Amino acid sequence: MESYLASPNRYDTMQYRRCGRSGLKLPAVSLGLWHNFGGVDTFENQRNIVRTAFDLGITHFDLANNYGPPPGSAEENFGVLLRTDLKPYRDELIISSKAGYTMWPGPYGDFGSRKYLVASLDQSLKRMGLDYVDIFYHHRPDPDTPLEETMGALDHIVRSGKALYAGISNYPAELAHRAATMLRELGTPCVIHQPRYNMLDRWVESDLLRTLRDDGVGCIAFSPLAQGLLTDRYLSGDVPAGSRAAGSTGFLTASHITPERVKLANALNEIAKARGQKLVQVALAWVLRHAEMTSVLIGASRESQVRDAVGALARLDFNAQELAAIDALVKDAARA
């Protein structure tokens, strides 16, 4: 394949938003490698997706130690892309990784001990061929390890130069506040939190967004499309071959494509058409409307999905009637 030369216009239309009170900015749309970047997936498709993303101004690529399958293979594949395509642009990239879920057997390959976090990041750096990542997250709270140990490990990792910034993911509001306070007192502020958030899953609205704002922490939402439910992929009620729901395992399966959810998606799609947008674009714009929201984290199985996602930035405003209609549809679906 011919050598890659990034588009000279890659910064012309992308929006960049500051992470809380830090100096770090992220693109409003970031690319996650949770799905479709494992060893079982087609590498050339991965390359096309990543090239398209960077050409559109997506500078942030989000990984974790266990992304695959098999675990670790997403980082390995991204490491190849760094060497072959993106190496000249390393200083234009924000590369993040995480540790917190099961990665290897035994007592040291899961959750939030200093032993696990430091060892996991060392493995991630080796897989990607990097000296450092830009953001390193603790992936989920650990009910058994003292929070002081976990935050101390993140502080150590940043001070060692293996990561530039520290972040957390999946932390509820009170615990996120405690973590941010600890890191701030250690001198390594928490710059970002990565929670699940979309039209159908709004738990962050009760207190997390306010907490992050008060603590000066940015927010990047994962699963903003509810694993694909908030796209046009399932509007007919069918489950296309190769779609995420066609798999027998994972967070979205064919059993989730219920008549009620198909009806909701079609109703939301009518709102999108009235706005001159696709459903995916409305779903992303709806998340990005929050002042506290630094970025949305998308997954993609083909280049066109990246282009559609970035196209959401053309219209991020909502009027009161649109927001009320969306809320009413979602509440009605929840009661069904």
pLDDT (tens digit per residue) in 251-277: 666 566 788 888 999 999 999 999 999
Tell whether 182 is covered by a domain. Answer: yes
Which among 272, 284, 169 has a CA at the least distance from the CA of 225?
284
Q: What residues contact 319, with CB distance under 8 A and at least 6 apart?
A: none
Below-70 pLDDT ranges, the chain: 1, 236-256, 336
- CATH number (domain holding residue 202): 3.20.20.100
Tell whether 276 is covered by a domain. Answer: no
CB 250 within 8 A of CB 326: no
Tell whether 186 is covered by a domain. Answer: yes
Tell whether 290 is covered by a domain. Answer: yes
**Amino acid identity, position 261:** R
Tell whether 3 is covered by a domain. Answer: no
Tell whether 288 is covered by a domain. Answer: yes
Tell whether 253 is covered by a domain. Answer: no
Q: Is the dihedral of CA 182, 186, 187, 189 positive or negative?
A: negative
Residue range(s) defining the domain that contains residue 209? 16-236+283-313
Q: Is the dihedral of CA 167, 32, 289, 90 positive or negative?
A: positive
- Residue 248 confidence (pLDDT): 46
- Residue 258 confidence (pLDDT): 82
Question: Which pair of tokens denotes residue 269?
Answer: 């799609």
Entry pTM: 0.94
Question: Which pair of tokens denotes residue 257?
Answer: 């494509």
Length of the chain: 336
CB 20 within 8 A of CB 218: yes
CB 288 within 8 A of CB 312: yes
Q: Is the dihedral of CA 168, 171, 177, 182 positive or negative?
A: negative
Tell whether 7 is covered by a domain. Answer: no
Phi, psi of 62 (to 5 degrees): -110, 125
Question: Which pair of tokens denotes residue 333?
Answer: 């679906």
Q: Is the dihedral of CA 87, 90, 92, 95 positive or negative?
A: positive
- Domain count across the chain: 1
- Residue 128 confidence (pLDDT): 98
- For residues 69 and 72, give the distance between their C-alpha atoms in angstroms, rounded to a whole number: 7
